[in-house]
Structure 1
Amino acid sequence: MTRVYLLRAVWGGLAAFVSMAGILPLAAAQSLAVETAKATPPTLCGWLDNPTPGNVDFIDREGSWMVGMQGGHQAVGSVPTFPSARWVRTGHGSAGYGCVCMKARIDREDRKILEFVQARSMPLAACRKDPAIKGLEPFNPLK
Structure 2
Amino acid sequence: MTRTYQQRVAAWYRLATMATMACVLPFAAAQALAGERAQAVLPTLCGWLDNPTPGNVDFIDRDGNWMVGIQGGHQAAGKLPTFSSGRWVRTGHGSTGYGCVCMKARIDPDDRKILELVQARSMPLATCRKDPAIKGEEPFNPLK
Name the one with the larger strand percent: 1
Q: Which residue of 2 aligns with 1:22?
A: none
3-state SS in 2 of match to 1:127: helix
| 1:117-128 to 2 correspondences below 5 Å | 117-128=118-129
Name the one with the larger helix percent: 2
Q: Quick one: percent identity of the two aligned structures?
A: 80
Cα drift, residue 40 of structure 1: 2.1
Kindly name which structure, 1 or 2, has the bigger radius of gyration based on alpha carbons: 2
3-state SS in 2 of match to 1:47: strand
Q: Which residue of 2 aligns with 1:115?
A: 116
Cα drift, residue 39 of structure 1: 4.5
AA aligned to 1:83 is: S
Q: How big is the alpha-carbon RMSD for the aligned residues of Structure 1 and Structure 2? A: 2.0
The count of corresponding residues between Structure 1 and Structure 2 is: 114
Partner Cα separation in structure 2 for residue 114 and residue 120 of structure 1: 17
| 1:55-74 to 2 correspondences below 5 Å | 55-74=56-75
Partner Cα separation in structure 2 for residue 39 and residue 124 of structure 1: 27
Deviations 1:80-109 (A, max 9, x none): 000000000000000000000000000000
Partner Cα separation in structure 1 for residue 118 and residue 71 of structure 2: 22
* Unaligned ranges ≥5, structure 2: 1-29
Q: Which residue of 2 aligns with 1:52?
A: 53
AA aligned to 1:46 is: G
3-state SS in 2 of match to 1:116: strand
TM-score (norm: length of structure 1): 0.75
